[in-house]
């Protein structure tokens, strides 16, 4: 590097103001005129840009002859203005100090440049007939030791063609064998253009003779034998992209806010056993915001070396205090094995003589390379995983209210108030007045494209039954078909008919609905004559909104409006109205 700095200093001291291209050309010509032993090479691409510029002085050649040891190469970061890097090849002297033997200025982002640097090395050191270059990403002493022991360090070798002959002056000689090896994660250049530079083919170096005249910036033209340099400033950014500090700052702010929401629970439950954590949460009943934030960062083992479960009955077992959760899949597999094994018949054993079955807290599981746990501890972990999923659904429902519902309703304040109410409420809070067990967690599926569960459909039917103090005599029957699709039956007493609706118009589903309608007529309506009527519209065009289409079908009876083709906005409004009506009925 000192040699390069000296050359730059001498160039500045001349006081001549040349362009960058002409200044580099002047530098190369001056370097060759200083000594007949100096060697320089310029390689150009097909575009005419200068790809590689290499320098080797006579002193560098003598240093290499004196210390022909293993050479080291280092490449600096590329410059800001031009797309080049400085490659330095170094030999070690008798004192262990690095002595540069070649400088090469190479254009970044092209694979063939390393081959051109090696070509220049062979031109400058004509008595070196065999050159091997190994790029290592491990400790150099280890690599050198293996090499001295006769172990090859490279995992792949690419032999360059042997017909490369350089007849340029300044020490250029014919090229014998050249071998490149690669190890670790680095690729070895083979003289072929990369996929990014398929139009850039390597060419023979420009011959630089000592009789070239220096450039004169005062002349109107250039001589015919003047060296022409054209540096490329086509810098293609590589490596890690520039950080978006504003985005990172906002992300950190959101993460800190989420962390602070669970501070109260973290302080209360610190160093508690998993069973104590579950009991405390059930006692204080925190809201979704606080509970979800706590569970999101609660410790759990990310890796378990093995999944070998051995259950046993051990009434005297004293468990350790467990402050973490096992992965959800491990907990599920362990409990499933228990239910299919020792706990298969907990209430009574057929082959027993009336002995009592051991209590559930006597079951102990040994998980290989993890530890031993009581059944209640694993069930506590499973409950926490389930609650974390419930809190996640609540957050998704709140996000849907904010992003999809508020822009499409006349009064955005209503969904905003519902959003805050959902986030501040314990997920297992009961909603009374519907005739069955209904909880807030059952309503989170009313968001977006989520599939409506049984309780949500029953709650929607119960709400529509009393919609606007309706006095019509009808019965709404949502039908779950094989647990994957919703259909609907409506018993209309004034019209003496049972209407059957399947949003997908499937033959199999419609056949099952008609069979169910026939059973209703022959059972509860046997004293009167009822007919069965098919309803084909509206038709569902997706795979998640069958429950919403059935609710729309039910709504048409109590509101008097016939359902039409439902758009995405219509489905969103319908889901929102059902959610708001159920919560409103609960409050009153």
pLDDT digits (tens, 9 = 90+) for 65-76: 776 666 666 666
The answer to whether residues 28 and 42 touch, using CB atoms and an 8 Å cutoff, is: yes
How far is residue 49 from each of residues 43, 52, 230, 391, measured CA to CA in Å? 9, 9, 5, 60
Query: Which of 186-200, 502-516, 571-585 bottoms out in mean pLDDT, i.e. has the lowest?
Result: 186-200
Average pLDDT over residues 384-408: 90
Distance CA 143, CA 139 (A): 6
- Strands 177-182 and 156-159 come out as antiparallel
Whole-number mean pLDDT of the chain? Answer: 72
Given this model, what pLDDT does residue 498 score?
83
Average pLDDT over residues 438-450: 88
Query: Which of 286-295, 305-314, 380-389 bottoms out in mean pLDDT, i.e. has the lowest?
Result: 305-314
Distance CA 86, CA 77 (A): 8
Q: Which of 256, 190, 205, 252 is nearest to 42 (CA)?
A: 205
Distance CA 81, CA 108 (A): 12
Task: Read off the pLDDT of residues 151-177 as tens digits, 9 standing for 90 and up.
Answer: 654 444 433 333 333 333 333 333 333
Given this model, what pLDDT does residue 561 score?
55
Domains located in the chain, CATH noted: 35-149 (3.30.420), 252-343+360-426 (no CATH), 430-584 (3.40.395.10)
pTM: 0.53
* pLDDT above 90: percentage of residues in the chain: 4
Is the pLDDT at 186 greater than 60? The verdict is no
Using DSSP, how many helices (H) and how many strands (E) does the chain show? Answer: 16, 15
Instruction: List strands edge to edge, sheet with 371-374.
Output: 309-313, 363-367, 371-374
The answer to whether residues 200 and 174 touch, using CB atoms and an 8 Å cutoff, is: no
Q: Give residue for tokens 């530890």.
A: 371
């Amino acid at each position: 590097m000192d040699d390069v700095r000296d050359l730059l200093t001498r160039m500045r001291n001349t006081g001549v103001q040349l362009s960058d291209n002409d200044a580099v050309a002047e530098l190369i010509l001056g370097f060759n005129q200083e000594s007949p032993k100096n060697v320089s090479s310029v390689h150009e691409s097909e575009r005419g840009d200068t790809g590689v510029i290499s320098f080797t002085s006579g002193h560098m050649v003598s240093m290499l002859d004196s210390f022909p040891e293993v050479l080291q190469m280092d490449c600096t970061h590329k410059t800001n203005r031009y797309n080049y890097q400085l490659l330095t090849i170094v030999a070690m002297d008798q004192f262990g100090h690095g002595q540069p033997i070649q400088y090469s200025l190479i254009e970044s982002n092209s694979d063939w440049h390393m081959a051109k640097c090696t070509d220049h090395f062979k031109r400058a050191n004509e008595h070196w007939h065999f050159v091997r270059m190994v790029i290592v990403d491990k400790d150099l002493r280890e690599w050198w030791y293996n090499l001295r022991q006769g172990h090859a360090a490279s995992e792949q070798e690419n032999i360059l063609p042997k017909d490369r002959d350089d007849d340029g002056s300044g020490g250029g000689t014919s090229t014998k064998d050249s071998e490149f090896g690669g190890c670790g994660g680095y690729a070895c250049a083979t003289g072929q253009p990369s996929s990014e530079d398929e139009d850039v083919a390597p060419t023979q170096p420009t011959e630089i003779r000592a009789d070239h005249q220096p450039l004169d910036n005062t002349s109107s033209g250039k001589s015919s034998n003047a060296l022409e340099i054209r540096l490329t400033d086509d810098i293609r950014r590589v490596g890690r992209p520039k950080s978006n500090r504003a985005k990172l700052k906002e992300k950190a702010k959101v993460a800190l806010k989420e962390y602070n929401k669970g501070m109260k629970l973290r302080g209360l439950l610190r160093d508690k056993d998993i069973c104590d954590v579950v009991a405390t949460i059930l006692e204080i009943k925190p809201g979704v915001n606080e509970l979800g934030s706590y569970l999101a960062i609660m410790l759990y083992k990310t890796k378990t070396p093995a999944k070998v479960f051995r259950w046993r009955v051990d009434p005297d077992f004293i468990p350790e205090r467990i402050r973490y959760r096992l992965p959800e899949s491990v907990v599920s597999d362990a409990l499933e094995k228990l239910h299919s094994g020792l706990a298969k018949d907990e209430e009574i054993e057929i082959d027993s003589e009336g002995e009592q079955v051991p209590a559930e807290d006597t079951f102990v599981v040994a998980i290989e390379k993890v530890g031993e746990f009581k059944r209640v501890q694993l069930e506590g972990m499973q409950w926490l995983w389930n609650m974390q999923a419930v809190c996640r659904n609540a957050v998704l429902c709140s996000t849907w209210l904010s992003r999809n519902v508020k822009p499409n309703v006349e009064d955005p304040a209503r969904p905003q108030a519902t959003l805050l109410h959902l986030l501040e409420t314990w997920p297992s809070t009961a909603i009374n007045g519907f005739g069955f067990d209904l909880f807030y967690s059952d309503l989170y599926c009313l968001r977006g494209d989520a599939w409506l569960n049984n309780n949500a459909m029953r709650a929607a039917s119960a709400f529509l039954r009393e919609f606007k103090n309706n006095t019509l005599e009808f019965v709404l029957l949502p039908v779950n078909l094989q647990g994957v699709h919703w259909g609907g039956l409506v018993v209309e007493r004034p019209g003496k008919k049972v209407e059957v609706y399947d949003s997908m118009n499937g033959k199999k589903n419609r056949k099952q609905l008609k069979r169910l309608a026939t059973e209703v007529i022959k059972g509860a309506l046997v004293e009167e004559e009822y007919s069965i009527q098919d309803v084909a519209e509206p038709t569902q065009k997706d795979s998640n909104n069958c429950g919403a289409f059935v609710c729309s079908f039910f709504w048409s009876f109590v509101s008097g409006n016939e359902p039409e083709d439902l758009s995405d906005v219509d489905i969103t409004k319908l889901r929102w109205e059902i959610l708001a009506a159920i919560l409103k009925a609960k409050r009153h």
